[in-house]
Amino acid sequence: MTIFEKIIAREIPSTIVFEDEEFIAFRDINPKAPVHVLCVPKRVSSRLDEIVDVVDLGRLMATAIRVARESLHLRDYRLAVNVGAGAGQIVFHTHVHILGGWTDESAEAHHDEMASRDG
């Protein structure tokens, strides 16, 4: 059982910002941005590429956008998905990172850092 399954089952605490029948979104315990939330399907899949139904993929992304806009009140934000350990995936339960909350100055520094990583 992954840590996300334990959060869904309420076996461990988290700060939940959104929940419906299919998805849960909660604050990341190791944030990489002023606002860092994970949008997680309740149905388990280890990696994004295991979700073969395009409707399910669309619902995941639509829910992440809804959380960013309606629950977190973000106008500018980033959605990120790490697929596999080589891409930085740590918890093997599909999830979308919602990152935002930067000021103009901190956003510029963040973008410079990301550009230097991307080469």
Gap between the Cα atoms of 50 and 74, Å rounded: 29
| 104 SS3 class | helix
The H-or-E segment that residue 96 falls in is strand 96-100
Whether residue 110 lies in the annotated active site: no
Catalytic residue among 36, 73, 93, 95: 95
DSSP assignment, residue 116?
Answer: H
**Catalytic site positions:** 95
